[in-house]
Amino acid sequence: MTTVGDEMHALVERLYPLCRSITGDGVRRTLEIVGETIPLQVHEVPTGTEVLDWTVPKEWNIRDAYVKDPSGAKVIDFAESNLHVVGYSVPVSATMSLDELRGHLHTLPAQPDLVPYRTSYYRETWGFCLRENTLAALPGGQYEVLIDSTLADGHLTYGEHVVEGEVADEVLISCHVCHPSLANDNLAGIAVATRLAARLAENRPHFTYRFLFMPGTIGAITWLALNRHRVDRVRAGLVLACAGDSGALTYKRSRRGDAEIDRAVEQVLRTSGREHTVIDFSPYGYDERQFCSPGFNLGVGSLTRTPYAGYPEYHTSGDNPDFVSPEAMTDTLETCWEVLRVLEANRRYTNLSPYGEPQLGRRGLYGSLGGRSDTQQAQMAMLWVLNLSDGDHDLLDVAERSGLPFPLVAEAAAALHDAGLLKE
């Protein structure tokens, strides 16, 4: 039977051949394919638009590129892999010596069988990426060089999917769509976000969820510039990347360090038994650094498996569909789902019978626990919720201080609320 993990992996494989960059038709086609699963509102922001301290750049598209050796054989071919061309390379049609060409060639001497990923977004130049072993075997002579690309006024493209909730407070889920053929650092995050959005839409959530599919850095800056009027609605957020490798989960805290999303993710990771690492915020990484810039300071963290630059295949041709697995993406998806369930259930209550411990037995609250394997824990959860429901503590505070699983605490709070002992 096809599993959710298999479906996510199939999406990665389908998106993998597309040549994406921070602008261009590769991004549009990627959003079209995502839009077959979840409806997307696609935004086109014109070149030259001022966005915070940045300007939307020219749009880049590429049709073909190659290098032919003196015998006429293609030794570098864009059709074989879009990683072979430096992103945003300007058009080139020339014949030159190998010595002249070398200044435009990029390899990984320490990984001679892999093609690196390189870009030059904001400096007009051109280049090719290839295996070190290929470069070492190139003969002297004249080489034919072609890059059939355009760099002209156009648009920056990004997509939004909104799952309407009962309240206007929003949770952001963001992933980047600007990398070419890189399965983990790009596509696995897209696949997980798409499936998470589809699952959320099956039941109306309490919060409104906004999924952002954007080019890295400039996309987040553009969204923030165009949505400054709504950022005060953002209650929490997660940036997803590197979501499909075999490494343990890594959570990077928001700039605040103790935001609700930080506490929710850490609660889930701590009680799930999953191997994981939690690291403090730093202003380098993915788009959490834009959402957490001091002027916005949103409660947005980043969830990955192995962090960026933490695995040898990072930003190389080794980051292919075989590098990511349905099982790892499923684990990332389920972790995200558990985090959202915590956010959905987290409330702040006031105890309506705060003078002494209220009698739970006559309200049927103790009796309702009979036969449960966790009866003692459930009773303790009720006592902890009652004691900390002073208007200053939320249910995450209760779970953290008591050491009890959050779902048990939330269940206890719901029972106490229904019995008239708590007010939200």
Going by the annotation, the residues of the binding site are 179, 185, 315
Would you list which residues are annotated within the binding site for Zn(2+)? 179, 185, 315
Return the HEC string of the chain.
CCCHHHHHHHHHHHHCCCCCCCCCHHHHHHHHHHCCCCCCEEEEEECCCEECCEECCCEEEEEEEEEECCCCCEEEECCCCHHHECECCCCEEEEEEHHHHHCCEECCCCCCCCCECCECCCCCCCCEECCHHHHHCCCCCEEEEEEEEEEECCEEEEEEEEECCCCCCEEEEEEECCCCCCHHHHHHHHHHHHHHHHHHCCCCCCCEEEEEEECCCHHHHHHHHHCCCCHHHEEEEEEECCCCCCCCEEEECCCCCCCHHHHHHHHHHHHHCCCEEEECCCCCCCCHHHHCCCCCCCCEEEEECCCCCCCCCCCECCCCHHHCCHHHHHHHHHHHHHHHHHHHHCCEEEECCCCCCCCCHHHCCCHHHCCCCCHHHHHHHHHHHHHHCEEEEEHHHHHHHHCCCHHHHHHHHHHHHHCCCEEC
Residue type, 286: Y
Number of Cβ atoms within 10 Å of the Cβ of 53: 7
Other CB atoms closer than 10 Å to residue 69's CB: what's the count? Answer: 18
